[in-house]
Structure 1
């Protein structure tokens, strides 16, 4: 017990050091304000989605990132010769990250039932139980997968396939589209229902017996997940394949540019590595398909979802399609490419590739420019396909939509240099992604909800310019070309500051 307590306190200090605790507090405050702005009568119906999707799932990626970074630092090897067992280390990580989710959830639950102050205590118990249960299920799964993968890119390739049913099935269930007992086969469904029981009890159709049996079933999954995670940690990651080159698979990895070949050939070699792989997971290449898949899902889901909301809740989503387009496509596609590019740059730092660059013809500034240009081009191409395929561009292509596409595409390199400037490792990179990702989701929604000219107060934030360029947005006195010029200027200034910070931090300033 003393070892477990010490491990838990140490884990809390580590997460505080890497900024996980502050970002949890900030996100909790932001979502509480957002929920407070929702009318009191509707807050209880909206809260389960926020609590399930963001609050309960908050620590899942951090758990894997912490484990992968510990492997790089040699912490796992140190634990192998210490009195602390792997089961205790995993329990400490689960305890701290679940506690953060619960602390984030408390104000959200209180705000969601503000029209029923007498029911606050009665709402907290089931809702917090649902958050804890969901958090533990997702955390143990991510820990088990993270312990078996070689790096964060490999983890991000595998985890969506495993997590998707744990997220999508409960969402379909609590939305009322499909409320069938078989949905409880997915263990996170009961967690979502417990959250809903606290914030919106009238919408829960399952009785106490069903919820009780579902909770027991989910707890069995939690225990199984902890056992799987411990075994995966003890076994370690799958071995990496031997490095490959373009000349037959022997010799040094092509990932490090050779001295004496010039900066341009070095950049070409980096592009070969990124796009065609050298034994690392081809995450960037796989991302080529992501914008199309995202757009197709939105095209198929949006009409029935809008009809369901209109018939069941009296809310017509169709007039708000431009905001959905901005949040889920226009700014989401650049965020995906920016995150992948940023993680690849962080991995290059972890694998000492940047040290090699210091004795090569390719300066670090050119390397950073290459990474930024690559994600910008990929984002622009992805948006050019995803925007029309999504079916949400009611007016088709116009000057405003072209400007919105250009400005949105530039958010990918901005996010990349934000990660390299503010994060020194994978864990801090995920913290930065959490913060910037929340901004990129909330800004287009806020720009849509706020009436003009109040939405112009968001202009210091680079993503706001691309959202306001969509013709249906109220951009006040700013015309299309003013939005283009202003957006380019704000993005350039922000990027220049982050690039300078990056170069200073890694010693090339």
Structure 2
């Protein structure tokens, strides 16, 4: 299994090296994090010139740009790699190799989760706005974001026929994943649990709980079950297609 994973990894490395689009997309979380360097200056400006205190909304801003924002970006990397594999008929070729049928989906899901968790953890630290304790406590949140990114990637590969279609889809999906899950930050009502239909609601809510010193685990558990089930369903849909 280790040898199979190494072979898949070498194939991914070649794909990313020769595709500048993939390199640019993969850098997205760090570009988001770097934009947060301007948050203190923006906070001072709004307070001084407009009398608006942005501090209570720092958790919202940070969750948008370094927690749920990168999910669509890194999910796009997963999806674009899968689409390239489909174009090169790699997925069809794997069916006649000694590699276990489950090895490729497990590899793709595992690498997406790991890459997302590492990228988001590094991005949180890079912002300079999140205390080390919060970064450490948010590692489970980044893993949940990784599950969401895998689901996005499998969905793109299942629905899009080529990279152009995938990029168009990710724009629409990104708006859904990025904007709507932030609405519950402004309200406190049990009915807002309905936003849980959007997968990125759960990591955002868990991050807010950590920021406020609350208990994130109910949201992490619910989000993991939902994102895991969604990723599995989309992966089965992808596997059922003719490549």
TM-score (norm 2): 0.84
Q: How many angstroms does 1:351 deviate by?
A: 2.5
- Gaps in structure 2 of 5+ consecutive residues: none
Cα distance in structure 1, aligned partners of 2:236 and 2:78: 18
Counterpart of 2:242 in structure 1 is: 506
SS in 2 for 1:397: helix
332-341 vs 478-487, greater mean Cα deviation: 478-487
Counterpart of 1:274 in structure 2 is: 12
Q: How many angstroms does 1:302 deviate by?
A: 1.2
Counterpart of 2:82 in structure 1 is: 345
Q: Is the 8 A contact 1:334 1:411 kept in 2?
A: yes
Distance 1:425 1:283, change over 3 A: closer
Cα distance in structure 1, aligned partners of 2:47 and 2:16: 50
Structure with a larger share of its residues in helix: 2
Cα distance in structure 1, aligned partners of 2:68 and 2:58: 14
- Gaps in structure 1 of 5+ consecutive residues: 1-262
Distance 1:446 1:474, change over 3 A: farther
Counterpart of 1:488 in structure 2 is: 224
Counterpart of 1:336 in structure 2 is: 73
Q: Is the 8 A contact 2:60 2:182 kept in 1?
A: yes
Q: Is the 8 A contact 2:16 2:22 kept in 1?
A: no
Counterpart of 2:109 in structure 1 is: 372
Q: Is the 8 A contact 2:209 2:216 kept in 1?
A: no
Q: Is the 8 A contact 1:447 1:467 kept in 2?
A: no
Distance 1:459 1:394, change over 3 A: same
Q: Is the 8 A contact 2:154 2:235 kept in 1?
A: yes
Q: How many angstroms does 1:311 deviate by?
A: 3.9
Q: Is the 8 A contact 2:83 2:162 kept in 1?
A: yes
TM-score (norm 1): 0.43
Q: How many angstroms does 1:433 deviate by?
A: 1.0
Cα distance in structure 1, aligned partners of 2:231 and 2:152: 9
Counterparts in 2 of 1:123-202, with a 5 A limit? none
Cα distance in structure 2, aligned partners of 1:496 and 1:502: 10
Q: Is the 8 A contact 2:147 2:231 kept in 1?
A: no
SS in 1 for 2:201: helix
Cα RMSD, aligned residues only: 3.0
Q: How many angstroms does 1:415 deviate by?
A: 0.9
Larger relative contact order (C-alpha < 8 A, sep ≥ 6)? 2
Q: How many angstroms does 1:330 deviate by?
A: 0.5
